[in-house]
Structure 1
Amino acid sequence: MRNRKFSKGKKFIFFLPVVALIAAALGFIVMYLWNWILPEVTHCGQLNFWQAIGLLVLCRLLFGNFNKGGGGPGNRFREKAWTLRSKWDGMNEEQRAKFKEEYKRRCGGWGHRNKE
């Protein structure tokens, strides 16, 4: 029995329709959900297929790629939290108090408005 392997050209020919099919499916899903929910809730216009594809591309550009759940070594949020934690651990009490005051001044705490 002969071991059949795909050449790179055959892999590309197989890969291209799969990518197109996935993009089309995602476009139709976004279009369907948008047209089902948002016009009724927010009174916005309906989306056509190409606008849905454009919305997917825009989300990809703004929010990054569609990662599989859980994140890995490249998870930016985890790295950022780790960096903030290491900075916090490196602060003395005076620097921590200054940081907290600056946070309260800028953010006012969660769910509270500044009363200035």
Structure 2
Amino acid sequence: MNRVLKFVACVALGVLAVFLFGWVTMSLWNWLIPVLFAGPVITFWQAMGLLLLSKILFSGLGGGGKRGCHRHSAETYAWKEKFYNKFSSMSPEERAALKQKMKDKWCRWEEGASAKDSTGSNG
């Protein structure tokens, strides 16, 4: 029975928190936006819609949130260790060649900037 009571209390607290966030959003909007930007006054349900829209836009609909981004699998660490071992065993000439190859592949935008500068067009 104690677990059921805790569950009901958590659900009630969650619902209360959602309504509190909606009320705070509505109050802040109606206090600031009409005065600062001559915007409209909104209702509670419009404020709840704004909260939902901001949730979708800024954190997505995924269940994992940011927690999934910070977890690294064993394969990630194995790949990094393998790359580090390979890179550290290279001679300085091989490292320079690899760096140049990567620069040629991934830094093409620098070529366009240097070509623009050489034509003498200074925006």
TM-score normalised by L of structure 1: 0.55
Change in CA separation of 1:96 and 1:24 when aligned onto 2, cut-off 3 Å: same
Change in CA separation of 1:72 and 1:92 when aligned onto 2, cut-off 3 Å: same
Which residue pairs with 1:30 in the alignment? 25
Identity %: 26
Q: Whose radius of gyration is greater, 1 or 2?
A: 2
Q: Residue by residue, what CA displacement relative to the aligned partner does 1:7-33 show, whole Å, maximum 9, x if unpaired?
A: 2x3232111210111111111111111
Shift of 1:74: 2.7
Structure 1: where are the runs of 5+ without partners? 66-70, 76-88, 105-114
* Structure with more helix by fraction: 2
TM-score normalised by L of structure 2: 0.52
Change in CA separation of 1:22 and 1:95 when aligned onto 2, cut-off 3 Å: same
Which residue pairs with 1:94 in the alignment? 104
Distance in 2 (alpha carbons) for counterparts of 1:100 and 1:56: 42
Shift of 1:97: 3.5
Shift of 1:35: 0.7
| Alignment RMSD | 3.1
Aligned length: 82
Q: What amino acid sits opposite 1:36 in the alignment?
A: W
Shift of 1:51: 0.8
Structure 2: where are the runs of 5+ without partners? 61-65, 71-98, 114-122
- More RCO (CA 8 Å, sep 6+): 1
